[in-house]
Amino acid sequence: MKAGDVVVVPLGARRVTGSVWDTASETQWKERKLKHIITKLDAPGLPEDLRRFVDWVADYTMAPRGSVLALALKPSLLERPQTRVLWREGCISARVTEARKRVLATLAAIGAADTATLVNAARVSTGVIRAMANSGFLIPQVQSEKATKLNPSHPAPVLSAQQATIAGELRSAVRSQTFSVTLLEGVTGAGKTETYLEAVAEALLAGRQALILLPEIALSAQFTARIAERFGADPTVWHSSLTHSQRRRAFHQITSGDAGLIVGARSALFLPFPALAAVVVDEEHDTAYKQEEGVIYHARDMAVVRARLAKAAIILASATPSLESWVNTQAGRYHHHVLKSRHGGAQPPQVSAIDMRIHQPPRGHFLSAPLVDQIASIISRGEQAMLFLNRRGYAPLMLCRACGHRVTCPNCTAWLVAHRRLGVLLCHHCGHQQAQPATCPACYATDTLTAIGPGVERIDEEIASALPQARRLVMTSDLISTQEHAAESVRAIEAGDVDVIIGTQMIAKGWHFPNLTLVGVVDADLGLSGGDLRAAERSSQLLHQVSGRAGRAVRAGAALLQTYHPDHPVIEALVSGDLKKFRAAEAALRQPGGWPPFGRLAALIISAKDPDVAAQAARNLAQQAPNSPGLDILGPAPAPISLLRGQHRWRFLLRAGRRLAIQHFIRKWLNQVPLPLAVHVTIDIDPISFL
Ligand code: ADP
Ligand code: ZN
């Protein structure tokens, strides 16, 4: 038995899977209550650096170590995958039922496929597949479980001089097998991806592994194709919508070291890589990297830790770096490389503001005349437009015109959002859904409930009536929820079957559509009023990114921002393109008060079903709040969403200097104040959401 081995141990009456964490001398363990290991599993062990990573994350986030280990050790994946069988068409002799016809049609369409794929695509049971195999309809073809090797020497594009210089630095960082952090900054289209793939090539060349983290799984269809182009084979992907058998196969390819490049969502950080040499966090500023439930952690920050423990080089890539990373470059903790221009001389989009005070649309409409005219004009040239509004559904609020009642969620402090396509009112916080009431729930008047404000579906409707000839596609996470569906939408856009793409956050990132020349931001002010400390920063990043979708190829692009505040610093920065000035101004605002990244924050959220119990717990904690120089405690205050999923919530915000171990104070504080079991305390270190 050695440290890292995966074992089964007794826990009360249960048997649980765990890992040998460390070895200790007899004198150390004699004092503790130990149990015997039942058995050691024939499974890949947890490497030393992964165990230290679990320790580190648990300490830092204050989550129980077992919860963090559960991210790294998944008993259901340990069993080695059975050899996968791909089916192809055999001889057709017996009766062909409708179900069997569907299976054959599927095979004709996609070639050989495994059982799970056939079951899904042809909507049949596994029994049908088995029976077809038995009667010779289907012929098995055993497929190797090994990942296809990526070829680091596959012909690559010739890098520009600037790209090549930076790629050289990144390659030598990987080669040195020491820890380093590099911020790779560059406007969208500058070739950041092309450049950091050179670092990946270096890792592959040494027979080691690379991990690329992406904020959105929606990216991966186009992204995977791109990797295949660069390295001649698909990478191993890791995200939440894999099937169990895909996941298990990927897991074993990774633990065996067979998978050279893993592209994944944040959970990929906890995989047991035996030979991690390079990590890339693409779109490092993206707040989707923050895991807000269970173990609350920021994947970008934890990726840096993982890289340090693995002695790997890590690259943070972004067109709009987070203030955190930028300040780290200023302080000399991170290297910093900037790709200054778009590859191939493509010009950055011309960004302009549309002053909505002047170009106010009629009541119930949300698109100004200049924006609609511009869309009409580029469509007539056969180009494509994208409209961005970060609001799913049809309208964010249903209001009774008779009594002013607003339809709210029974479980949350939130309005219900009207979704016409789904035909329901939906809570975006807890998922509560209900039919749209025919009468006002407060005054019982009929036909008085009115949709207020726009969601993407309403913008779609407005385009349909303004430009009836335009072919439209709405892209949001609720309408396009599978990889296949996303890929299909991308194909339709690439094939030129779409004139106007209307979407939320989902369309902001990564996509590369050469024929897209106009981006319209329906409500550029939306994120500015967020009220939290990063609202302006986040808004500038998101809008810059959205604007960057335009004109990525030969044709020049334009972005139009509809705003009621054209002189807001964020809008001015976007129009002038001087984000650096904006960043410096943001930093100057935050530094004096010791706000992040110049100080640290931690949030304590106290919640309970009973409002009095929650309030009392917050008061008790307040009475015993730690008092220490360099530590400020704000609150308790009712959370902005004071009711969430039926829980009443109070918040404390702790602010401390960068060097103060804020966790230590929280631990002591919570140990001092006994709280009833009905009270739940959530600790959020480095919070980015303040709701
Ligand atoms: P970023 O990641 O900075 O947005 P990409 O790496 O995606 O930029 O590059 C933008 C586009 O330009 C991509 O289609 C990419 O293949 C192409 N490109 C970038 N650098 C080169 C190069 N040196 N040679 C050929 N094509 C390039
Ligand atoms: Zn709700």
- Helices 192-205, 161-175: axis angle to 10 degrees equals 30
Centroid of ligand 2 to alpha carbon of 641 (angstroms): 10
Q: Which of 183, 194, 196, 544 to mutate to test the pocket of ligand 1 (most atoms within 8 A of CB)?
A: 194
Instruction: For the beta carbon of residue 555, count every other beta carbon within 10 angstroms.
Output: 16
- The helices-and-strands tally (H runs, E runs) of the chain is 21, 30
Is there a contact between 464 and 472 (Cβ–Cβ < 8 Å)? Answer: yes
d(CA 124, CA 218): 27
Tens of pLDDT, residues 369-419: 999 999 999 999 999 999 999 999 999 999 999 999 999 999 998 999 999
Distance, in Å, from the CA atom of 385 to the CA atom of 502, rounded to the nearest integer, reads 9
Residue type, 652: F
If pLDDT is split at 50, 70 and 90, which confidence band does 52 have?
very high
Q: Stretch 56-66: mean pLDDT, rounded?
A: 96
What strands, in cross-sheet order, belong to the sheet with 236-238?
A: 236-238, 261-264, 209-213, 276-282, 313-318, 180-186, 335-339
Inter-residue contact 655 to 600 (CB < 8 Å): yes
Find all residues with CB under 8 Å of 126, minimum gap 6, and list them. 115, 119
* Percent above pLDDT 90 for the chain: 65
Span from the CA of 192 to the centroid of ligand 1 (angstroms): 7
User: What average pLDDT does the segment 53-80 reach?
Assistant: 93
Higher pLDDT, 634 or 548: 634
Give the integer Cα–Cα distance in Å for 121 and 104.
Answer: 11
Q: Above pLDDT 70, what percent of the chain? A: 95
Rounded distance between C-alpha atoms, residue 222 and residue 549, angstroms: 14
Write out residues with Cβ below 6 Å of ligand 1: 157-160, 163, 186, 188-194, 343, 512
pLDDT at residue 109 greater than cutoff 60: yes
Query: What pLDDT score was predicted for residue 480?
Result: 80
Confidence of residue 30 (pLDDT cuts 50, 70, 90): low
Rounded to an integer, the average pLDDT of 288-310 is 96
Angle at 326 between CA 324 and CA 331, to 5 degrees: 95
- When pLDDT is averaged across residues 476-487 and rounded to a whole number, the result is 80
* Predicted local distance difference test score (pLDDT) of residue 32: 67
- Give the largest CA-CA distance in the chain: 84
Q: Please state the φ and ψ torsions of residue 37, each to the nearest 5 degrees.
A: -75, 135
Q: Where are the beta strands (DSSP E) in 64-137?
A: 84-89, 113-114
Instruction: Look at residue 82 in the predicted model and tell me its pLDDT.
Output: 64
Q: In DSSP terms, which residues pair with 19 in a beta bridge?
A: 6
Q: Which atom of ligand 1 is nearest to the CA of 226?
A: 16
What is the pLDDT, as a whole number, of residue 189? Answer: 81
> For residue 414, how many other CB atoms are within 10 A of its CB?
18
pLDDT of residue 154: 92
* CA dist., res. 522 & res. 543, Å (int): 11
Q: How far apart are CA 431 and CA 420, in angstroms?
A: 16
> Can you tell me which atom of ligand 1 is nearest the CA of 319?
3
- Write the CB contacts of 498 (distance below 8 Å, at least 6 apart in sequence): 384, 471, 472, 473, 492
CA distance 349 to 352: 9
Pairing of strands 647-657, 599-608: antiparallel
Q: Of the candidates 408, 407, 412, which has an alpha carbon nearest to the alpha carbon of residue 645?
A: 412
Helix (H) / strand (E) element for 379: namely helix 369-380
Nearest CA to ligand 1 atom 9: 191
Cα-to-centroid distance, 114 and ligand 2 (Å): 40
- Pairing outcome for strands 84-89 and 113-114: antiparallel
Q: Which pair of tokens denotes residue 179?
A: 């820890």
Is residue 388 helix, strand or coil? strand
Rounded Cα distance between 594 and 657, Å, is 7
Q: Per mean pLDDT, which range of 154-168, 234-248, 260-274, 650-664 is the poorest?
A: 234-248
Residues sharing a CB contact under 8 Å with residue 251, sequence separation 6 or more, in sequence order = 74, 77, 271
- By the 8 A CB rule, do 261 and 236 touch? yes
Strands (E), 389-426: 397-400, 417-419, 424-426
Place of tokens 């990929």: 268
Instruction: Give the residue, 119 or 216, on which the prediction is more confident.
Output: 119
Ligand nearest to the CA of 417: 2
Per-residue confidence (pLDDT) for residue 216, from 0 to 100: 66
DSSP state of 202: H
Smallest CA separation from ligand 1 atom 10, residue:
189
| 198 Cα to the center of ligand 1, angstroms | 12
**Contact by Cβ (8 Å): 226, 200:** no
Q: Which ligand is nearest to the CA of 430?
A: 2
Tokens of 210: 């690379």
Pick among 3.40.30.10, 3.30.70.600, 1.10.150.20, 1.10.10.410: CATH of 599-685: 3.30.70.600
Cα(416) to ligand 2 centroid in Å equals 8
Q: Residue 133 corresponds to which amino acid?
A: A
Which atom belonging to ligand 1 lies closest to the Cα atom of 195?
6
Ligand that lies nearest to the alpha carbon of residue 645, given by its number in the listed order: 2
Q: Ligand 1 pocket: which of 343, 494, 513 to mutate (most atoms <8 Å of CB)?
A: 343
Q: Which of 502, 487, 497, 496 minimizes the C-alpha distance to 515? A: 496
Shortest-distance Cα residue to atom 26 of ligand 1? 157
Dist CA 22 CA 12 (whole Å): 22
> Taking all residues of the chain, what is their mean pLDDT, rounded to a whole number?
90
- H or E segment at 390? none
Distant-in-sequence, close-in-space partners of 197: CB < 8 Å, separation ≥ 6: 156, 227, 230, 231
> Quick one: pLDDT at residue 237?
92
How far apart (Å, rounded) are the C-alpha atoms in residues 522 and 504?
11
Which residue's CA is the closest to the ligand 1 atom numbered 19?
A: 191
Least confident of 90-94, 97-101, 287-291, 372-376: 90-94
User: If we measure between CA atoms, which residue out of 409, 386, 356 comes closest to residue 505?
Assistant: 386
Convert 176-189 into a string of H (helix), E (strand) and C (coil).
Answer: CCCCEEEEEEECCC
In angstroms, what is the span from residue 194 Cα to ligand 1's centroid?
Answer: 6
- Does the pLDDT at position 624 exceed 80? yes
Closest-lying ligand to the alpha carbon of 426?
2
The domain made up of 346-391+454-587 is a member of CATH 3.10.20.30: no
